[in-house]
C-alpha cells in the first residue's frame, strides 16, 4: 500500500491514544483540499501490509504499560482508494482491542453502492466510526472536531465510540530525533502560525 506517513502515538486524531496512518493517493480532488500533497497516487512511500501490521503490533506492545493505544485512525489521501490492505490492518487493530476511525471523501451511501471502490465493504466492516463526505469550501467550518466542512458526517457503525468521546480540535507538534518538526491535528491556521512562531 502507499502511505504518506504514520505516527505510533497521537492524541490529536480522535479519542484516546491512537496509531495514525495517512494514506497516499486520492482521486476525489476536492477544491480547497488541505492535504493536496496526499492526492498524488505516485507519491508517498510503499509499505506492505505485513510490515504495517508489525509496526502497529510493536507500538501496541511498547506502549502497553505506559500509555496504551486505544485506537487506529486511517485518513488521507483516501483510505478507500486502497481498501483491501487497510482492511487487514484495521482487522488486526480490532483483534488487539483497538477501535478504528476511517475518514473518507466518499459518502457512506456511495461506498455501499455499485460504484464503490473495490473492497470498500471489507474496510467498512472493520470501521467503528466512519467520517464521510468530501471537503466543501462553501461549507467550510472548524466547529466540530477533526472535520473541515459542515457536510461531513460522523457515522457510528458500532457502539464502541460515541460523539462524546471526541475532544475539541487540537494540534500536536513533535520534534524528531533528527531535529525535524512534525505537526498534525486540526485547527485554525492562525492558531498554528502563532504556535510555530512561539
Ligand atoms: S477527500 Fe480529502 S484528501 Fe481527497 S481531495 Fe478531498 S479533502 Fe483532499
pLDDT at 195: 64
Neighbour tally for 66: CB within 10 Å: 8
By the 10 Å C-beta count (0-12 exposed, 13-18 middle, 19+ buried), 67 is classed as exposed
Q: Which residue's CA is the closest to the ligand 1 atom numbered 3?
A: 77
Contact assessment for residue 33 and residue 197, using Cβ atoms and an 8 Å cutoff: no
Q: Which residues pair with 158 in a beta bridge?
A: none
Please identify which residue in the block is written with the cell numbers 457515522: 155
Distance CA 173, CA 39 (A): 23
Per residue in 41-93, pLDDT (tens digit) is 999 999 999 999 999 999 999 988 889 999 999 998 999 999 999 999 999 99
Going by C-alpha positions, the residue among 161, 183, 163, 181 that lies closest to residue 172 is: 183
Per residue in 113-140, pLDDT (tens digit) is 999 999 999 999 999 999 999 999 999 9
**CA of residue 3 to ligand 1 center, whole Å:** 14
Q: Which residue's CA is the closest to the ligand 1 atom numbered 8?
A: 33
Q: Is the CB of 186 under 6 A from ligand 1?
A: no
pLDDT at 198: 64
pTM over cut 0.85: yes
Contact assessment for residue 15 and residue 68, using Cβ atoms and an 8 Å cutoff: no
Distance CA 105, CA 128 (A): 17
Please identify which residue in the block is written with the cell numbers 494514506: 23
Spans of all domains in the chain: 2-166
pLDDT at 170: 84
Distance CA 175, CA 20 (A): 17
Q: Report the Cα–Cα distance between both ends of the chain, in Å, rounded.
A: 37
Contact assessment for residue 13 and residue 35, using Cβ atoms and an 8 Å cutoff: no
Ligand 1 closest atom vs CA 76: 3
**In terms of CATH, what superfamily is 2-166?**
Aldolase class I (3.20.20.70)
Amino acid at each position: 500500500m502507499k502511505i504518506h506517513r504514520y505516527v505510533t502515538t497521537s492524541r490529536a486524531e480522535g479519542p484516546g491514544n491512537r496509531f495514525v496512518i495517512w494514506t497516499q493517493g486520492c482521486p476525489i480532488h476536492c477544491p480547497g483540499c488541505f492535504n493536496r500533497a496526499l492526492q498524488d497516487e505516485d507519491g508517498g512511500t510503499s509499505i506492505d501490509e505485513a510490515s504495517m501490521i508489525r509496526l502497529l503490533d510493536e507500538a501496541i506492545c511498547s506502549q502497553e504499560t505506559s500509555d496504551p493505544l486505544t485506537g487506529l485512525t486511517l485518513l488521507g489521501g483516501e483510505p478507500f482508494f486502497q481498501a483491501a490492505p487497510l482492511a487487514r490492518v484495521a482487522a488486526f487493530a480490532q483483534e488487539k482491542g483497538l477501535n478504528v476511525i476511517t475518514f473518507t471523501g466518499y459518502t457512506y451511501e456511495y461506498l455501499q453502492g455499485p460504484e464503490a471502490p473495490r473492497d470498500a465493504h471489507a474496510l467498512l466492516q472493520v470501521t467503528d466510526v466512519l467520517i464521510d463526505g468530501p471537503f466543501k469550501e462553501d461549507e467550510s467550518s472548524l466547529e466540530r472536531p477533526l472535520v473541515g466542512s459542515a457536510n461531513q458526517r460522523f457515522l457510528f457503525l458500532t457502539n464502541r465510540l460515541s460523539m462524546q468521546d471526541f475532544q475539541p480540535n487540537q494540534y500536536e507538534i513533535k520534534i524528531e530525533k533528527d531535529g525535524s518538526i512534525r505537526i498534525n491535528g486540526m485547527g485554525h491556521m492562525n492558531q498554528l502560525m502563532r504556535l510555530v512562531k512561539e
